[in-house]
Amino acid sequence: MSIKTSLRKWLPLGLAAGIAWTGLPLPGGVAANAAVATNAASYATAAGVEAHYQAVADRFALVIYQNVRKKGVFRAGYLDNYNYKIYADYLTKVNYDGDWNSGNNWQNLDANKDQLGAYVYYDVKETETHYFIGYYTYYPMDDAGADSDRHENDMEGVLVVVRKGAENDGMGAPMLVVLEGHGKLYQYRVDGAGSAIGNSGDDIDGTIRMRGSHPEVFATSNGGTPDIGSFGHNIKKWDAPFNSDFTNSQNFGGIEYIVGTNAQIHNNDTIYNAYNNGGLPVGNYSKVTYKAIPISELWDKRFEIGPDKLFGVFGKINGDDGAGEHAANAPWNWSYRPEAGLATGLIFYDPARLIQYMLTNLGNYSLHYVKRDGSGNNLPGVYLYEHPNGEGRMQHIVSNVGDLRQGLVGDDSITSVKVVGANYQTVLCADLLFQGAFSNNIMTEGLTNLSYGPMDDKATSVMVNVLP
């Protein structure tokens, strides 16, 4: 019996029962196409990997100097009469109001202004040589003086690239910080590990200040900070020392966010007093501790789309107040250099490839994504890769996936598969819900390249068998 016949005979029963593929025997004569074996003495657990990535995110988390703005209080020459909401500049989370309807976040802000906890989302992608840590700042609204600039929900971000090594308790040394704001990316070296980095598809914009292992950045207020040519919560590098004549808007004060284990509730009086001092002494920022939380809680809800849902369309946070409908983009919807053929969301899906395009002199640099705990143990399961040899966008799975569309790799995109763990087996399927053509081999432990084969860039669903 061929593998295709065997799987088709079994499939309806498994689907009808709604169970995972378990215990399916290998058909006689079928061998796995495993080019590189993975023989680990021990394996990571999902909880161990999550704990390690939380520790990595905390170790290199941003110090954020958040400018805040209130009615008529700004640099001479830029005063206006719009009644800015100072708490619209507070970092928080999308469901700050207790629900996952982001279309009411504008309306609910006033009622919740005294209960806003401080949060920053994070995401960790790991290769053999580096960590790529995305930090994403969220605000319930961008409260601008001009109607055309005002919108519900706002999200900006930073990518920190860390070279693995013995530094920082074995987590490595930060080498590069990429700042995102309103669709533009700015690249800054970190002295030491990043000193040799040079220009390639994009240019280095300078060197970023560090506080130990933490990059220091500045976030502009809602409505904008005209004297540095920025606006609407844009993230810039932090400049110091201050200019005593207030020619630098960063003098004006606000909030100094530092990472911690708890999300501190913002104190409106303390923050406003710091800001209202007008920067005397210069750089008067009220300290607030934020908690870094995984952006997976948003990613896992990416299909919750509709008028009363988290997203208005795929990748755009639901919001209909202000001038722009669904104006805030999740990082998987950020666009960079599409004219150069770079895919939407590359900074989220494949940051290693993005940095390789942008810059050169990166040193020992791998494009092969892994998932490991703090001891370097691999997480068992099936790894789906966009490119040959385990490179490009990666999705890790441990059970059947009936629809790969809008996943971490996507459908019709898989070119190599790595199986970690002797008890895992997998088969690719060309169509949704395990229909259509199947891969010729049941893939077992090791790396399988599909290049130019019948299932290269053809899979839309995947079956996973976990042996006892």
Residue 32's pLDDT is 39
The whole-number pLDDT of residue 399 equals: 98
| Strand bridging mode 119-127 / 235-237 | unpaired
* Beta strands, E only, 143-249: 151-163, 173-181, 184-189, 198-199, 204-207, 210-211, 214-219, 235-237
**Predicted TM-score of the model (pTM):** 0.89
Burial class (CB in 10 A: 0-12, 13-18, 19+), 111: exposed
Residue 13, both tokens: 């029963």
The secondary element (H helix, E strand) that includes residue 175 is strand 173-181
Cα distances (angstroms) measured from residue 294 to each of 148, 174, 389: 32, 20, 28
Looking at this protein, which amino acid is placed at residue 421? Answer: G
Other C-beta atoms closer than 10 Å to the C-beta of 98 total: 9
Q: What is the pLDDT of residue 440?
A: 82
> The tokens of 383 are what?
């790894």
Q: How far apart are CA 319 and CA 328, in angstroms?
A: 8
pLDDT digit of tens for each residue in the chain (468 aa)?
334 334 433 343 233 233 344 333 333 333 334 434 444 459 999 999 999 999 999 999 999 998 887 654 444 444 456 677 888 899 999 999 999 999 999 999 999 999 999 999 999 999 999 999 999 999 999 887 677 777 789 999 999 999 999 999 999 999 999 999 777 899 999 999 999 999 999 999 999 999 999 999 989 887 755 555 566 788 989 886 554 444 455 556 789 999 999 999 998 877 766 655 544 444 578 899 999 999 999 999 999 999 999 999 999 999 876 566 667 899 999 999 999 999 999 999 999 999 999 999 999 999 999 999 999 999 999 999 999 999 999 999 999 999 999 999 999 999 999 999 999 999 999 999 999 999 888 999 999 999 999 999 999 999 999 999
Q: Distance between CA atoms of 70 and 428, rounded to whole angstroms?
A: 56
Domains and CATH numbers, the chain: 3-43+380-466 (2.60.20.10), 48-333 (no CATH)
| Cα(130)–Cα(382) distance, integer angstroms | 21
Q: Residue 272: its pLDDT value, please?
A: 67
| CA-to-CA separations, 286 to 219, 273, 424, in angstroms, rounded | 14, 9, 52
- Residue reference for tokens 């107040």: 321
